[in-house]
Amino acid sequence: MWVNITITRIVLLLISTILTVSACAPRIEAPGPDITTPHLEEHAIVTADGVRLPLRQWLPTTKPKAVILALHGFNDYSNFFDDPGQFLAQRYQIISYAFDQRGFGGAPTPGRWAGVQAYADDARNAVTLLKAKHPGLPIYLLGASMGGAVALVTLTSDHPPDVDGAILAAPAVWGRATMPWYQRLALWLGANTVPWMTLTGEGLNIKPSDNIEMLIALGRDPLVIKKTRIGTLYGLVNLMDAGLKSAGNFNVHAFILYGQHDEVIPEKPTAEFLKTLPSESKPIQKTALYEGGYHMLLRDLPAATVWKDIAAWIANPSKPLPSKADQRTLSLLVNDDPRKGRE
């Protein structure tokens, strides 16, 4: 889901507590010791430490052509891929899977952060298991927002899974390098003094999507997290740091999507990420800018346009997209003065 927190708001919440609260570090719900071999169940992925991560799947009725593993965003869960999963299965014979990542949805310890390595390990194991289940089919790792950062870290690790490509929808790459100093300070103070404090997105006037009916449904969904611990937000920023830093080593086939009206992940860090991608990988990496798109590209009102582009890219990555979104470029990427947009 969209990141429903503004980091600078932590400053206001800390004013009345920072001088009276004892220091404590953010808590990480790290995986336990290995007790089993990772494996698939009908409705779950079982990790090496025995944790069951709820799994959803969308299967075509005819012979499948490809497999997608979709990673959800912050505070969201696997249900985020229900509409695109059904569409891709029915129209393009693409199998889709999505699982609840640790601390989200129906997974254990909701609202708690598991650590960057844990999310990458789970994604890698899930790809490996699905590839074994569907031998001979191309497999793609799709990540939305936070899921995009997880995909980036996973695919640039020392032992990346074997995928045929990555699809990054508004990847969360808003790392500390692109944050002003006061946001970095506020985050550090909050995480190291009141990591248990929770925040909501109320009053921030952030529009994550133009699909109001969908947003109302998310607000009523008990599995969507509404209040975020500062310690968990700190973990998310660590992940976004890692995602942004991984850009220089991201040399896989990729389709990278961004909405012109994204109010969650700013244009500046997105442009920095795109500029840092390896120059030798440009022929195998396609970027697309959606003029009417918001952060939740896969669930905006014109989301079907994005779904069709994903299917078209999988079928032929070198062919222009049906929407022509690959012919548009972020304004900061065509800025001749590298100092502009960096203040």
Measured from the Cβ of residue 12, the count of other Cβ atoms closer than 10 Å reads 9
pLDDT at residue 319 in the model: 96
In 3D, which of 227, 148, 228, 146 has the Cα closest to residue 187? 228
Q: Which amino acid is at 275?
A: K
Provide the number of structural domains found in the chain: 1
Say what the pLDDT of residue 1 is. Answer: 46
Closest CA to 92 of 311, 342, 335: 311
Alpha carbon of 27 to those of 42, 114, 115: distances in Å? Answer: 32, 9, 10
In a domain, 3, yes or no: no
| Residue 113: DSSP 8-state | B
CA distance 92 to 155: 25
Q: Is 185 exposed, middle or buried (0-12, 13-18, 19+ CB in 10 A)?
A: middle
Q: What is the mean pLDDT of each run of 10 residues along the chain (343 residues)?
A: 47 42 64 95 96 98 97 96 98 98 96 95 98 97 97 96 97 79 57 52 74 95 90 88 94 96 90 93 95 95 97 97 92 53 35
In a domain, 286, yes or no: yes
Residue 285 belongs to a domain? yes
CB 95 within 8 A of CB 66: yes
pLDDT at residue 214, as a whole number: 96
**Residues contacting residue 203 through CB under 8 Å, at least 6 positions apart:** none
* Order of strands, sheet of 52-58, starting from the edge strand that comes earlier in the sequence: 39-41, 44-46, 52-58, 94-99, 66-71, 139-144, 165-169, 254-259, 285-290
How high is the pLDDT of residue 187?
57
On whether residue 18 sits in a domain, the answer given is yes
Q: What is the pLDDT of residue 156?
A: 97
Is the residue at 316 inside a domain?
A: yes
Tell me whether residue 4 is in a domain. no
Is the CB of residue 166 less than 8 Å from the CB of residue 151?
A: yes
Question: For residue 228, what pLDDT is reported?
Answer: 83
Q: Is residue 23 part of a domain?
A: yes
In a domain, 340, yes or no: no
Cα 164 to Cα 67, 122, 131, 249, 332, distances in angstroms: 10, 18, 11, 17, 30
C-alpha 266, offset from chain centre: 14
Range of the domain at 191: 9-334
pLDDT score at 28: 79
What CATH number did the domain enclosing 279 receive? 3.40.50.1820
